[in-house]
């Protein structure tokens, strides 16, 4: 957490320095600063995150970066510098975050930290060189290429910063976090870079009217993202409802599927699975017991771990068939139907679900001291049934949850 504190401190000190400098020397080109500030505020107000998506504010990001890379406005050389860019963007982003703070949505402090540091990076790379005349020889296509390169470097810096902050906050593996951030850049990141360049160039030629024109595509992109995320949220709720069928019918204990899904996702993240793999893992974990609906007589407490191997495989295959009929992704069905196979023949998602499900069942059945006893039984069965790496990763996750006192039921060691 010291890394997070250091980054936040740097962002706060930089913002205070920028505000002090701007207040002392006055606001250069107030109209331009106000226009970009309003754009950033609107972008932050429209920032949104769904249950399965990272927070996005493409309009706010594009507006802030285009202001950092603005050299001219309406054919006149701009007078603002690095510190004014930071001050305007920081104040605008803070104002735009107020509703999110009131609703308690998102990690606002870390969001503002990233915004200040990435905008400062872009402004430091461009403004001093431009005002010293070092970029005068870059004209036409070369100037566009320069702006695009600087924006790409800036969003890469932001992705690195986001992954590092998430790693410091959660202790999840840094590599997969960075990979997920970079994968996200291929979509919305490319749109932000292109729009940021176009905004900076258009304002330099025709003035501030260009902001209204080029803001529309990003607003439409944000609307499309919201609709997509709403569809994904509905999809997940449908899967969760299907998973509850075994609980309602009395085949499994209440909350069992949710606990297995939550713990499986934590283990998968600790093992370095990507975000799409974690989504498949979570869906399969929610539906891992759905094959029990085919049983005439329910298994006591829904604990399939103690059943003969052939019966476990039969239930798993029936569950996979049910999942395929629901129209869920085929990868989810494969994980469900392979969860009872020897771990060497399983995909990584099935290995995780089998291990976590067995832990949940054994810990619940053992009563007091059950978690430690369950882990010991899993370790003794790593020769065939459970992958040793998954079992040890589960133990680390449970220990961390015990330390933070936020683990799921049954996670207390």
Domain boundary among 227, 256, 279: 227
Residues 180 and 291 in one domain: no
Name the token pair of 188: 């919305």
- Whether residue 409 is contained in a domain is answered as no
Domain boundary among 195, 227, 259: 227
Q: Which pLDDT does position 58 carry in this prediction?
A: 80
- Whether residue 410 is contained in a domain is answered as no
Nearest to 193 by CA among 384, 8, 58: 58
- Whether residue 412 is contained in a domain is answered as no
In this prediction the pTM is 0.75
The whole domain housing 133 covers 2-227
Q: Which pLDDT does position 53 carry in this prediction?
A: 47
Q: CA 62, CA 340: separation in Å to the nearest integer? A: 49
Residues 22 and 95 in one domain: yes
Q: CA 362, CA 382: separation in Å to the nearest integer? A: 15
Q: CA 373, CA 384: separation in Å to the nearest integer? A: 19
Q: Which pLDDT does position 214 carry in this prediction?
A: 82
Q: CA 367, CA 362: separation in Å to the nearest integer? A: 9
Domain boundary among 192, 227, 262: 227
Name the token pair of 108: 């606002």
* Domains contained in the chain, number: 2
Q: Which pLDDT does position 188 carry in this prediction?
A: 73
Residues 175 and 270 in one domain: no
Residues 24 and 96 in one domain: yes
Residues 193 and 48 in one domain: yes
Residues 159 and 91 in one domain: yes
Residues 180 and 133 in one domain: yes
Residues 111 and 40 in one domain: yes
Q: Which pLDDT does position 410 carry in this prediction?
A: 42
- Whether residue 233 is contained in a domain is answered as no
Residues 282 and 377 in one domain: yes
- pLDDT tens, the chain, 413 aa long: 688 899 999 999 999 999 999 999 999 889 999 999 999 998 888 776 544 445 567 888 888 999 998 888 887 888 888 999 999 999 999 998 888 777 776 567 888 899 999 999 999 988 887 777 666 666 667 777 888 888 888 888 988 998 899 888 888 888 888 888 888 777 777 778 888 888 888 888 888 888 888 888 777 877 777 787 778 888 888 888 888 888 888 888 888 899 999 999 999 998 988 888 999 999 999 999 888 888 877 888 777 888 888 888 888 998 888 888 887 888 999 999 998 888 888 899 999 999 999 999 888 876 667 788 888 989 988 888 899 999 999 999 988 877 654 444 444 44
- Whether residue 238 is contained in a domain is answered as no
Residues 6+ apart with CB under 8 A from 238: none
Residues 204 and 257 in one domain: no
Q: CA 299, CA 292: separation in Å to the nearest integer? A: 8
Nearest to 284 by CA among 251, 247, 316: 316
Nearest to 299 by CA among 309, 313, 289: 289
- Whether residue 216 is contained in a domain is answered as yes
- Whether residue 397 is contained in a domain is answered as yes
Element (H, E) at 32: helix 30-45
- Whether residue 234 is contained in a domain is answered as no
CATH number at residue 347: 1.10.3210.10
Residues 37 and 124 in one domain: yes
Residues 183 and 292 in one domain: no
């Amino acid at each position: 957490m010291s890394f997070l504190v250091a980054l936040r401190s740097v962002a706060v000190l930089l913002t205070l320095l920028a505000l002090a400098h701007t207040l002392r020397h006055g606001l250069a080109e107030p109209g331009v600063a106000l226009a970009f500030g309003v754009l950033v505020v609107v972008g932050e107000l429209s920032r949104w995150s769904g249950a399965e998506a990272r927070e996005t504010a493409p309009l706010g990001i594009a507006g802030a970066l285009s202001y950092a890379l603005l050299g001219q406005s309406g054919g006149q050389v701009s007078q603002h510098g690095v510190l004014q860019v930071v001050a305007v963007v920081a104040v605008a982003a803070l104002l735009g975050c107020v509703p999110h703070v009131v609703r308690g949505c998102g990690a606002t402090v870390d969001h503002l930290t990233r915004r200040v540091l990435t905008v400062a990076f872009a402004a430091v790379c461009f403004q001093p060189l431009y005002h010293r005349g070092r970029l005068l020889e870059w004209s036409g296509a070369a100037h566009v290429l320069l702006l695009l390169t600087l924006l790409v470097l800036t969003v890469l810096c932001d992705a690195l910063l986001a992954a590092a902050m998430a790693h410091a906050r959660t202790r999840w593996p840094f590599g997969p976090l960075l990979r997920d951030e970079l994968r996200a850049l291929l979509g919305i990141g490319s749109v932000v870079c292109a729009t940021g360049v176009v905004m900076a160039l258009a304002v330099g030629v025709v003035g501030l009217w260009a902001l209204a024109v080029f803001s529309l595509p990003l607003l439409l992109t944000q609307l499309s993202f919201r609709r997509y995320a709403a569809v994904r949220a509905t999809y997940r709720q449908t899967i969760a409802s299907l998973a509850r069928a075994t609980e309602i019918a009395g085949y499994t204990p209440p909350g069992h599927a949710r606990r297995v899904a939550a713990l499986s996702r934590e283990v998968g993240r600790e093992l370095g699975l990507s975000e799409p793999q974690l989504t498949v893992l979570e869906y399969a974990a929610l539906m891992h017991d759905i094959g029990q609906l085919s049983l005439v007589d329910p298994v006591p407490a829904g604990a399939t771990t103690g059943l003969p191997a052939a019966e476990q495989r039969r239930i798993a295959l029936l569950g996979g068939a049910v999942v395929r009929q629901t129209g869920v992704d085929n990868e989810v069905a494969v994980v469900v139907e392979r969860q009872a196979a020897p771990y060497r023949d399983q995909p990584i998602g099935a290995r995780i679900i089998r291990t976590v499900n067995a832990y949940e069942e054994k810990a619940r059945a053992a009563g007091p001291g059950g978690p430690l006893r369950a882990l010991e039984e899993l370790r003794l069965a790593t020769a065939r049934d459970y992958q040793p790496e998954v079992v040890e990763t589960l133990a680390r996750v449970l220990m961390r949850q015990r330390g933070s006192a936020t683990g799921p039921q049954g996670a207390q060691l």
